[in-house]
Structure 1
Amino acid sequence: MKELLQERLAERIEGFVNGKREIQPSCSKFAQKKELFHRREAEVVKLKGKGKIKGYLQDKTRVYYVVHLEYLVRQGEQYYIEEEVEERVASFYQGKLQRDEELKPHYSSITIEEEDSGQQRVGYERITYQYDRLKAVQYAEKWWNSYNPAYKSFDVDCTNFISQCLRAGGAPMRGMPSRGKGWWMSGNNWSYSWSVANALKVYLGSSIVGLRAKTVSSAEQLTYGDVICYDFEGDGRYNHNTIVTGFDAVGMPLVNAHTTNSRMRYWSYEDSTAYTPNIQYKFFSIQDDR
């Protein structure tokens, strides 16, 4: 099984880089990604993949495994490496590979409106801080494909990861112990805004105490350490968040994220299996309070 999966991965890589027909049905995500690179006038010079079996299902006829992909991208005179981790399931019958598919990432669809959106009220004192964008990005680079044991991790971990990056940049917590107030994590408890995508979007869009952000109209207006929120279905429920960690050759943001662990990924997520034509974005520029 391991050898067959390695052969399958090699076929997918060759098909992506050289444009050759794959033996198995073509991977729609690879096709989307290739089209996105084409529209950006970028090309993948080299693609490497490494797989690891994580477990077996149904009397070893189904294999759960992960693939770490590294794309060496050239865009004009600039080169950079994009990385992502796929979770996949392969099905076998009589020792032959029958089906190999990526597990669709489960992004949060929960909508939780905070009791306290972050607006200043009597009794709140101003919390001064300066956001250290370098430290936020360094944290996002260090932990993009692993989990800091100092924090609880979640099955749907994207917002928890972004909150940790913001905290590494010096963003102040407030509101504990009420889960519906502020933005915080303490021990085995945390606010909704710390871990739920839509709640963080609500908080960033309204807070004027502690962690604050300014809504901007386009991705081009963002810089290192800023946050993008995604509503894949366009139904008003935001279900994913990323942090800006770099820029491509024309100045468009590249992002890091958890859930589908990704590094230096193009910000639009048009190559995601969760993408729909109805996608909506919110762009947040993190503000200092000095």
Structure 2
Amino acid sequence: MDKLKSLWLDYLESDRNDSSWWNRKKELCEKRGVDIVRISGNGRIYQRMNLRNGETVNYLLHLTFLMKQEEHFYMEENVKAYQFRLVDGQLLDHQEISTPYDDVEKGKVDPESIRNGHIERFSYDRMAAVQYAERWWNSYNPEYRKFDVDCTNYVSQCLRAGGAPMRGAPNRNQGWWYQNNNWSYSWSVAHSLRWYLSGSTQGLKGTEVASASELSPGDIICYDFEGDGRWDHNTIVVSKDNHRMPLVNAHTDNSRHRYWSYEDSTAYTPNIKYKFFRIGE
């Protein structure tokens, strides 16, 4: 179990806890007949401030809740910021604080990751991206142009709905953006988005992982059907099957909750290659 998650769980159980959001969450779950079956999480310290006899520590906790409602299971994710003081080896004043994203106008600037107390990342709302993916999987948002090969345009819209910041306009060769019926190549071309995700160092970027099983809803899979180095297709993960493998949504051949490997696709070849990108990490 992650040490910061353990620290957070101890905090929730302590008398010092006045976390209204956690109390509301439990009350809402009880009202809906939902059980929180398991909590998993990954914590990351983003700021340390030295004190005379200790330090103040700020950390982000990415929490995943396994929820059960009758016989249905689903996952919920949250990212929250916390702070505590270490004084002479004793932990004091453990409390929830505002996230370092709160002063950033969502989608209008280019925060990246958090390091040394500086805002360098955006807070990816996976649920919003997936909700958008579900809403438009078999239709087309009139606020955007529809392409004959629409898979990457659709995935870009999902990422945007999740809060990914645009940058680079009006140069179509730079950044990732859609503006006034114009767009970057990375917005609409599968090959360009694949390389943008792996090469971007600010705003929207992807962290490549080794296997599909490491992905979560809101993450992206890129496909090179021929295995020739030309990336042909992109999908967004929206759910997991009973074996914890991704189910994806896509456009062009509009699909919903399709098994990620695309082995049933007419474009599939034995030479197929994949890239798996976690977003917002």
The bucket for the TM-score relative to the shorter chain is 0.5 to 0.7
1:130 aligned partner: 123
* Map of 1:67 onto structure 2: none
Amino acid at match of 2:269: T
- Say whether residues 1:251 and 2:244 are aligned partners: yes
Whether contact under 8 Å (1:256, 1:264) holds in the other structure is yes
Question: Match of 2:192?
Answer: 199
Q: Distance in 2 between matches of 1:248 and 1:165?
A: 21
Q: Deviations over 1:137-189 (max 9, x none)?
A: 00000000000001111000000000000000000000000000000000111
Take 2:226 and 2:203, find their aligned partners in 1: how far apart are those partners?
31
Gaps of 5+ in 2: 1-70, 74-117
Counterpart residue identity of residue 157, structure 2: Q
Q: Which runs of 4+ in 1 moved over 6 A?
A: none
For residue 123 of structure 2, what is the amino acid of its counterpart?
A: Q
Report percent identity of matched pairs: 67
Would you say 1:283 and 2:276 are equivalent positions?
A: yes
Letter paired with 1:255: V
Structure 1 counterpart of 2:148: 155
Please say if 1:211 is aligned against 2:179. no
TM-score by length of 1: 0.56
- Alpha-carbon distance in structure 2 between the residues aligned to 1:269 and 1:168: 25
Pick from 203, 223, 245: which aligns with 1:230? 223
1:22-49 Cα shifts (integer Å, max 9, x gaps)? xxxxxxxxxxxxxxxxxxxxxxxxxxxx
Unaligned runs of 5+ in 1: 1-76, 80-124
The two structures have a TM-score, normalised by structure 2, of 0.58
Q: Give the length in aligned residue pairs.
A: 169
Deviation at 1:128, TM superposition (A): 3.9
Report the Cα offset of residue 127 of structure 1: 5.7
Greater relative contact order (CA < 8 Å, ≥ 6 in sequence): 1
Query: How far is the alpha carbon of 1:213 from its aligned partner?
Result: 1.0
Q: Could you tell me how far 1:78 is from its partner in structure 2?
A: 8.1
Q: Work out whether residues 197 and 277 of structure 2, in 8 Å CA contact, stay in contact via their aligned partners in 1.
A: yes
Within 2, Cα distance between the matches of 1:186 and 1:214? Answer: 26
Residues 166-224 of structure 1 deviation map (CA, whole Å, 9 limit, x = unaligned): 00000000000000000000011100000000000000011011101100000000001
Q: Give RMSD over aligned pairs.
A: 2.1
| Structure 1 residues 127 and 155: alpha-carbon distance in aligned structure 2, compared to 1, 3 A threshold | farther
1:96-175 paired onto structure 2 within 5 Å: 128-175=121-168
